[in-house]
Amino acid sequence: MSESRPSKNYRTKAVVLRTYKSGEADRIVVLMTEDHGKVRAVAKGARKSKRQAALLEPTVHLDAQLYRGKGDLDTITQVQAVDPFPSIRADLDRFTRAASFIEATDHVTPDREPHERLYRMLVGALRTVAGENPTLTSAGFFLKLLALEGLEPVLDRCVSCGAEEPLVSFDTVNFGTRCQDCRSGIPISDEGIRICRLILTGGLAAALKLPDDPVLDDVNRLAASMLEHQIERPLKSLGVV
């Protein structure tokens, strides 16, 4: 590992995933960085500086100067906002959604393994949520995250018997659709399956433009269940859906 260590002082863009208090005035910050993967760092005196405290909050996109010491924790020496996403912070629906992306990213990312594509995907998703926030943003992020981690669901046949249609449910254990005869798991319509496939075959932009319809919420719930099953835990930030 030592050969991939950044120099002692380094600078990177990052999204704040999580923070917690440490001692009297410090804050530990978990960052998804552009260049070094997930990094834990201490922000000394952060709780005494209003400017810093405002930036070191989950979902904030920032530019950080860090110092790599001998331990597991780096030290944040300077932070600047890239985009604090005020609209996410001002709106509970947006914040809940952004928090679920952050939580999922946190769970799939080991410490200090560079994963630039996931970093970019997270920043892109946060920008979308901060902007028009189309309904399928959640399914888009969760399905793309599964694909990025090599965990794409089977959506073109029954995972039990191989039949190609009619597919009527999704089996989270065998991670694929099931036909009418083998149905078990989460019911899903033809249209819902079609939308999942569209997202996974380069059609996310088109999916995000689909007019609102209850099927979009079904797809969001299904995609969240897929991800929760793969990371083997519920996404706390989604609460009871």
Write out the residues near Zn ion by the rule CB under 5 A. 158, 160-161, 163, 179, 182
Decide whether 131 or 166 has the Cβ nearer to Zn ion.
Answer: 166
Decide whether 108 or 154 has the Cβ nearer to Zn ion.
Answer: 154
- Please, what is the minimum distance in Å from the beta carbon of residue 162 to Zn ion? 7
- Please, what is the minimum distance in Å from the beta carbon of residue 44 to Zn ion? 59
Partners of 11 in beta bridges: 65
Cα(96)–Cα(103) distance, rounded to whole angstroms?
10
- Please, what is the minimum distance in Å from the beta carbon of residue 189 to Zn ion? 17
- Please, what is the minimum distance in Å from the beta carbon of residue 6 to Zn ion? 51
Decide whether 189 or 237 has the Cβ nearer to Zn ion.
Answer: 189
Say how many C-beta atoms besides its own lie within 10 A of residue 108's C-beta. Answer: 17
- Please, what is the minimum distance in Å from the beta carbon of residue 167 to Zn ion? 8
Q: What is the DSSP string of the chain?
A: -GGGPPPSEEEEEEEEEEEEEETTTEEEEEEEETTTEEEEEEETTGGG-HHHHHHSSTT-EEEEEEE--SSS-EEEEEEEEEE--HHHHT-HHHHHHHHHHHHHHHHH--BT---HHHHHHHHHHHHHHHTT--TTHHHHHHHHHHHHTT-PPB-SS-TTT---S-EEEEETTTTEEEETTT--SEE--HHHHHHHHHHHTT-HHHHHTSPP-HHHHHHHHHHHHHHHHHHTS--GGG---
Decide whether 17 or 179 has the Cβ nearer to Zn ion.
Answer: 179
- Please, what is the minimum distance in Å from the beta carbon of residue 169 to Zn ion? 10
Decide whether 90 or 161 has the Cβ nearer to Zn ion.
Answer: 161
Decide whether 23 or 166 has the Cβ nearer to Zn ion.
Answer: 166
- Please, what is the minimum distance in Å from the beta carbon of residue 139 to Zn ion? 24
Closest CA to 216 of 229, 199, 200: 199
Decide whether 179 or 216 has the Cβ nearer to Zn ion.
Answer: 179
Say how many C-beta atoms besides its own lie within 10 A of residue 80's C-beta. Answer: 11
